[in-house]
Chains A and B, each alone.
Chain A
Amino acid sequence: EPEVTQTPSHQVTQMGQEVILRCVPISNHLYFYWYRQILGQKVEFLVSFYNNEISEKSEIFDDQFSVERPDGSNFTLKIRSTKLEDSAMYFCASTGLTGGPADTQYFGPGTRLTVL
Chain B
Amino acid sequence: GENVEQHPSTLSVQEGDSAVIKCTYSDSASNYFPWYKQELGKRPQLIIDIRSNVGEKKDQRIAVTLNKTAKHFSLHITETQPEDSAVYFCAASKAAGFQKLVFGTGTRLLVSP
Q: Are B49 and A104 in contact (CB under 8 A)?
A: yes
Chain A residues numbered 101-115 whose CB sits less than 8 Å from any CB in chain B:
101-102, 104-110
Candidates B31, B36, B43, B105; contact of A101 at CB < 8 Å: B31
Q: Are B99 and A109 in contact (CB under 8 A)?
A: no
In the bound complex, how far is the Cα of B50 from the Cα of A16, in angstroms?
Answer: 43
Task: Identify which of B49, B99, B106 gathers the most chain A CB atoms within 10 Å of its CB.
Answer: B99
Candidates B91, B98, B101, B106; contact of A55 at CB < 8 Å: B98
Chain B: interface size category: 20 to 34
Taking the closest CB of chain A, its distance from the CB of B1, in whole angstroms, is 9
Q: Is B72 engaged at the interface, CB distance under 8 Å to the other chain? A: no
Contacts of A42 on B, CB cut-off 8 Å?
Answer: 89, 103-106
Q: Are B103 and A101 in contact (CB under 8 A)?
A: no
Q: Is A75 engaged at the interface, CB distance under 8 Å to the other chain? A: no
6 contacts between A and B (CB under 8 A): A45-B101, A48-B98, A58-B100, A99-B97, A101-B93, A105-B101
The 7 closest A-B CB pairs, nearest first, are A101-B32, A99-B98, A45-B100, A107-B43, A43-B103, A42-B103, A101-B93
